[in-house]
Amino acid sequence: MGVSCSTCRCDEEAGDGKILQSTAAVCPTSCEDSIADMIVEKTISTHQLEVTFQLPNGSSRVICFTRRPLGLDFNRHMPITLKHVRPGSHADDLGVEEGWCIRTLQGYDVTQLVFQDVYLALKEASEHLP
């Protein structure tokens, strides 16, 4: 069962019954400016970057990156889909594969954001990994 937006309560204001999927969910329209900051803060406090990927078969996999470079090459539009995983990279060591789509960063649903916002959050958060 989903939970309502924990940051701005926009779903309560809109009255449209919109429910977000993660317990750490954040409004994808009203809170975009702060999502990157929240993702960075969680990365700093946990010393890892948790990414949930949707696999081509429809299942999900959570991967926790603990160092950089990540070794991911992806398309420049939403949904962010991996087009290449660099051999010998951290992502390769963790079993990440081409064709996987990024769904969440640090538990925050990023599927409704624009590419630039997700890219910025991913870039800034990964800069805080060793």
pLDDT digits (tens, 9 = 90+) for 11-49: 443 334 333 333 344 444 444 458 889 999 999 999 999
Q: Tell me the whole-structure pTM to 2 decimals.
A: 0.76
Residue from 73, 81, 79 nearest 112 by CA: 79
The reported pLDDT for the residue numbered 30 is 46
The alpha carbon of residue 61 and the mean position of all alpha carbons in its chain are separated, in whole angstroms, by 12
| 74 C-beta neighbours (distance < 10 Å), count | 20
- Angle of helix 32-46 relative to helix 115-126, nearest 10 degrees, comes to 20
- The one-digit pLDDT tens for each residue of the chain (130 residues) are 333 344 443 444 333 433 333 334 444 444 445 888 999 999 999 999 999 999 999 999 999 999 999 999 999 999 999 999 999 999 999 999 999 999 999 999 999 999 999 999 999 999 999 9
